[in-house]
Amino acid sequence: MFALGILVAVTSTVSALHVTDVEYYDLPRLFHLDDWEECAARRGRYCLGTFDLMPHQNERLYSVIQHLSADRYRFNHTRIHRGLCLPSSCAHVRDPSPRAHFSACVNHMTRDQYGLETNLTELQYCRIAGNTQPVDRWDLTFLYVTGLLLLANIVGTTYHLMASKDGTLIKQLVAWSVVDNWRRLTVNHSNGGDARLSALKPLQGMKALTLVLVVMAHSVLAYHLTYLYNPRFFEQSSHHILSAYMQNGTSIVQTFIMVSSFLLAYNLLLHAADNPKKQLSLKMFPRCLLHRIARICPLYMFVLGLATTWWTRGGDGPLWSPMVEDEAARCRDKWWVQVLFANNFIKPDDRCLIHTWFLAVDMQLYIVCAVLTLLLGRWPRVAVKILTVCIFGSMLMNFAIIYNWQLKPMVQLMIPELMRTQFPGERSFTWLYSAPWDSLPSALIGLLAAFLYHCHQEDGYQPAQSRCLRILYRLSVPCMFLWVLGGYWMKDVTRPLVVALYATVDRPVFMALTAFAMYGFINKIDSVWWKFLSWRGWELLGRMSLSIYLTHWLISLTLLAQRTNTNRAAVFDIGCHWLGTIFLSYCAALPLHLLVELPAMRFLQSLAM
Ligand SMILES: *[C@@H]1O[C@H](CO)[C@@H](O)[C@H](O)[C@H]1NC(C)=O
Ligand SMILES: *[C@@H]1O[C@H](CO)[C@@H](O)[C@H](O)[C@H]1NC(C)=O
């Protein structure tokens, strides 16, 4: 009897949550957009907004909607999103203010069709379709800066080509030579160069591949920001086991942090080994920092300038305003925070180019890593021990932070409704995902790998000869995939201790595996991976990583925001969007790298040194 009671209770809760296909399609559509072009042609007023559904005559439908929305992996169906052209959609409703007209119009439609009331909770805009903003001071300033940069390139290139080959060239001018920069982009270090540096070739392959995967994840995120024709696609696919790679794959960005701290430490150690008179010391810190800032800042500011000015004029459509113009407006508001690399701390909830959290964290950790390397560089063997302790210490600190503030791992945040709104006010996003301390273990692992690699080279140690290492190396790449997949079983875990433990070890374990694999790649433990990752193509793409990383989000948003209808989500559609974004990002990155990033970096460095 008791068991039967439990059975009935269980099945009734399950059936309460289970909504049949027919019932699903009886609900009001989550998204709807009127024809934008028609509205522009008729000079109508296009309004876009979000409405809360409220019970009216149809209580049953309302409770079905509420049950459905209780599932975290569904969009919140009590909130519907509408873009309507007024007055053509509601000629019979008369109201003087556009807001009231829009609100009454949607209310009428939902009541007639579904027996539910609506309340306008967020009005994105009401404007005459097709009207554009006039050019302002920011736009003009950006135009002048771009003109100046082009002029500098023309002058630099002409000077480089005209100047006699034997005389000494002025470094500040040659820095702007496109010919010289093209040579730098395509130079092949492996022919007669430093063998220690050419051994690092697989790193470029790792960077390029990581970037391709990051663009994929961001393509999926960008799809969530649009009005979807079939929101059900994401609701269903997020239960699929392979979706774990989407929801739990965010650790992969850490590869950049690990590789960049590895390169920083390794290059400094090589520098110290080549110049025995110049010991590493904190006195070199300002130079290191300037070097980094000269590399990142000019291009970053250029892209930020583009995003706050002419980007908003690159298209139009019903979603152009929420997806592009609002983002640009937030960027104008906090551009100085972005330039100071503090966007993950100051106004963290105003999302300006969501992917730039990484640049801030990278710069903050660069400072930590540079100080550590300069302090410990003289005693690499001691450094290995100290860094190991630091890694575990930082993980302990993270555990305390996560447990104390009850933060959640990213895999539990990747749910449709939060992705649609870009994690608004989500503490775990601000204080864990995009906070420097959660990436600190990865940076330290990179440092440790550099010190270990350096020591092994000095000792003439050959890891390829160790059978144990060879086996572990073979296991490392499959383990990386398995570890990410393991997040699938963490999606619904709620016990605070387990959640905090998982959130603490998630990134460090993945990075330890990646670092181990990297160690194997650069030691040529097997030639297949080495050949694949050392391909010349990756080298070129790897060098342009920063330009590609900075532009891909703008391109992804542009491609989706200029569509004038609801977007159909499907594996092939998103796949094509992903490939299109990659292709266009590479196309945009080439001139950015050649005409802005490289010359500005070389120019600034030649001034400072
Ligand atoms: C869905 O949205 C409604 C209205 O904004 C809100 O009251 C409700 O709490 C949301 N439901 C979930 C599960 O977040
Ligand atoms: C409608 O939404 C507004 C917020 O936009 C809120 O203040 C108001 O209470 C809501 N009305 C009802 C009846 O829920």
Quick one: residue 314, left, alpha or beta (phi over 0 = left, psi -120 to 50 = alpha)? alpha
The residue whose CA has the least distance to atom 13 of ligand 2 is: 119
Read out DSSP for 430-464?
IIIITSHHHHHHHHHHHHHHHHHHHHHHHHT--GG
The residue whose CA has the least distance to atom 10 of ligand 1 is: 76
Share of the chain above pLDDT 90, in %: 68
C-alpha to C-alpha distance for 601 and 372, rounded to whole angstroms: 25
For 165, which DSSP code? S
- Which residues line ligand 2 at a C-beta cut-off of 6 Å? 119, 121
pLDDT above 80 for 122: yes
Phi/psi of residue 128, nearest 5 degrees: -70, 125
Report whether 207 contacts 259 (CB < 8 A). Answer: yes
Task: Tell me the C-alpha to C-alpha distance, in Å, between residue 375 and each of 142, 178, 278, 382, 495.
Answer: 41, 38, 14, 11, 41
Report whether 506 contacts 557 (CB < 8 A). Answer: no
Across residues 223-230, what is the average pLDDT? 94
C-alpha to C-alpha distance for 129 and 316, rounded to whole angstroms: 9
pLDDT tens for each residue of 441-475: 999 999 999 999 999 988 888 888 888 988 999 99
pLDDT above 60 for 366: yes
The residue whose CA has the least distance to atom 13 of ligand 1 is: 70
pLDDT above 90 for 607: no
Give distance in angstroms: CA of 66 to centre of ligand 1.
8
Decide the pairing of beta strands 45-55 and 79-86. Answer: antiparallel
Tokens found for residue 379 = 């005693």
Give distance in angstroms: CA of 50 to centre of ligand 1.
12
Which neighbouring-strand residues pair with 122?
50
C-alpha to C-alpha distance for 514 and 427, rounded to whole angstroms: 28
pLDDT tens for each residue of 511-565: 999 999 999 999 888 888 888 988 888 989 999 999 999 999 999 999 999 999 9
In this prediction, residue 171 carries a pLDDT of: 84
Angle at which helix 2-17 crosses helix 59-70, to 10 degrees, equals 100
Alpha-helical regions (H) of 115-231: 137-162, 171-174, 178-186, 195-198, 201-225
Give distance in angstroms: CA of 564 to centre of ligand 1.
28
> Residue 69: CB within 6 Å of ligand 1?
yes
C-alpha to C-alpha distance for 172 and 174, rounded to whole angstroms: 6
- Looking at per-residue pLDDT, the higher value among 166 and 127 belongs to 127
Residue from 71, 79, 119, 423 to probe ligand 1 pocket by mutation (most atoms less than 8 Å from CB): 79
In this prediction, residue 191 carries a pLDDT of: 66
Three-class secondary structure of residue 139 per DSSP: helix
Chain centroid to Cα 280, Å, comes to: 34
Q: Tokens 């019932």 correspond to what residue?
A: 23
Across residues 424-443, what is the average pLDDT? 93
Give distance in angstroms: CA of 53 to centre of ligand 1.
10
Q: Nearest bound ligand to CA 99?
A: 2
Which residues does 388 contact at the CB level (< 8 Å), separation at least 6?
448
Read out DSSP for 189-220?
TTTTS-HHHHTTHHHHHHHHHHHHHHHHHHHH
Radius of gyration of the chain (CA): 27
**E strand segments, 8-167:** 31-33, 45-55, 79-86, 116-128
**Number of Cβ within a 10 Å radius of residue 62:** 20
Report whether 395 contacts 501 (CB < 8 A). Answer: no
Across residues 103-126, what is the average pLDDT? 93
- Determine the atom of ligand 2 nearest the C-alpha atom of 122: 5
> Residue 76: CB within 6 Å of ligand 1?
yes
Report whether 33 contacts 565 (CB < 8 A). Answer: yes
In this prediction, residue 6 carries a pLDDT of: 42
In this prediction, residue 404 carries a pLDDT of: 94
Residue from 106, 119, 124 to probe ligand 2 pocket by mutation (most atoms less than 8 Å from CB): 119
Report whether 112 contacts 133 (CB < 8 A). Answer: no
User: Residue 12: which pLDDT band, with cuts at 50, 70 and 90?
Assistant: very low
Q: Nearest bound ligand to CA 80?
A: 1
pLDDT above 80 for 10: no
Give distance in angstroms: CA of 117 to centre of ligand 2.
12
In this prediction, residue 2 carries a pLDDT of: 44
pLDDT above 80 for 380: yes
Three-class secondary structure of residue 84 per DSSP: strand
Give distance in angstroms: CA of 18 to centre of ligand 2.
30
In this prediction, residue 289 carries a pLDDT of: 93
> Residue 81: CB within 6 Å of ligand 1?
no
Closest CA to 56 of 123, 100, 122, 109: 109
The residue whose CA has the least distance to atom 1 of ligand 2 is: 119
- Determine the atom of ligand 1 nearest the C-alpha atom of 53: 4
Closest CA to 75 of 569, 584, 578: 569
C-alpha to C-alpha distance for 414 and 419, rounded to whole angstroms: 6
Phi/psi of residue 60, nearest 5 degrees: -65, -45
Give distance in angstroms: CA of 75 to centre of ligand 1.
10
C-alpha to C-alpha distance for 262 and 542, rounded to whole angstroms: 15
Q: Nearest bound ligand to CA 118?
A: 2
Give distance in angstroms: CA of 567 to centre of ligand 2.
29
Report whether 279 contacts 272 (CB < 8 A). Answer: yes
User: Residue 430: which pLDDT band, with cuts at 50, 70 and 90?
Assistant: very high
The residue whose CA has the least distance to atom 3 of ligand 1 is: 78
In this prediction, residue 583 carries a pLDDT of: 96
